[in-house]
């Protein structure tokens, strides 16, 4: 019995796209044109692939609106390496790094990029965990190296001060 497309092992695919101000062309999504009209907290977006979206800004990072008759509530916030997302279906938080992001609450929404290839889902979560463990180990080695060299340097300075003190003490004792 042949396997369907969804059951076959998916190979990582390279993302090929062009993003302009109002145009996006991609390998999977095709051609899409977008125009947004904004004013005083209200906005309307017309997209050739997704239809019309009417939205209202509630406060910084949060908006609600309607797209194709469906209610939307989206909140996106970031603080340092963390991103927080709120929607009508729930809350998630992710940790971003230069290789992508690891979603702490929903690991299957993670992403990983290497060599121009982007991976998403369970495989990305696995690669992100491995990458973060390697970075954690490298940073521990760096911290311990800095602590070790600082202790050696301060030990050397204390020893040098003590020797200089003794030399000055004996010179002053002989001179008196």
Helix (H, G, I), strand (E, B) or coil at 114: strand
Tell me: the pLDDT tens digits for 43-101? Answer: 888 888 888 888 888 888 888 888 888 888 888 888 888 888 888 888 888 988 899 99
Q: What is the DSSP letter of 108?
A: G
Of 125, 96, 91, which is closest to residue 108 (Cα–Cα)? 125
Helix (H, G, I), strand (E, B) or coil at 15: coil
Helix (H, G, I), strand (E, B) or coil at 17: strand
pTM of the model: 0.61
Q: What does each C-alpha distance from 61 to 73, 84, 90, 93, 95 come to in angstroms? A: 11, 10, 16, 15, 18
Question: Rounded distance, CA 82 to CA 133, Å?
Answer: 17
Check whether 157 has a pLDDT greater than 90.
yes
**Which of the four pLDDT bands, split at 50, 70 and 90, describes residue 1?**
very low
Q: What percent of the chain has pLDDT over 90?
A: 31
């Amino acid at each position: 019995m042949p396997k369907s497309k969804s059951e076959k092992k998916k190979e990582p695919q390279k993302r090929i796209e062009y993003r302009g101000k109002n145009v996006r062309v991609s390998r999977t999504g095709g051609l899409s044109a977008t125009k947004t009209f904004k004013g005083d907290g209200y906005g309307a977006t017309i997209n050739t692939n997704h239809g019309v979206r009417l939205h209202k800004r509630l406060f910084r990072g949060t908006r609600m609106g309607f797209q194709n008759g469906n209610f939307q509530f989206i909140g996106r916030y970031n603080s340092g390496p963390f991103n927080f997302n709120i929607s009508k279906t729930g809350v998630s938080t992710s940790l971003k790094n230069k290789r992508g992001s690891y979603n702490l609450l929903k690991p299957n929404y993670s992403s990983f990029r290497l060599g121009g290839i982007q991976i998403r889902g369970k495989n990305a979560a696995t690669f992100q965990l491995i990458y973060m463990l390697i970075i954690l180990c490298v940073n521990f080695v760096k911290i311990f190296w800095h602590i070790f060299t600082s202790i050696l340097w301060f030990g050397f300075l204390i020893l040098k001060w003590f020797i200089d003190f003794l030399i000055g003490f004996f010179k002053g004792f002989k001179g008196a």
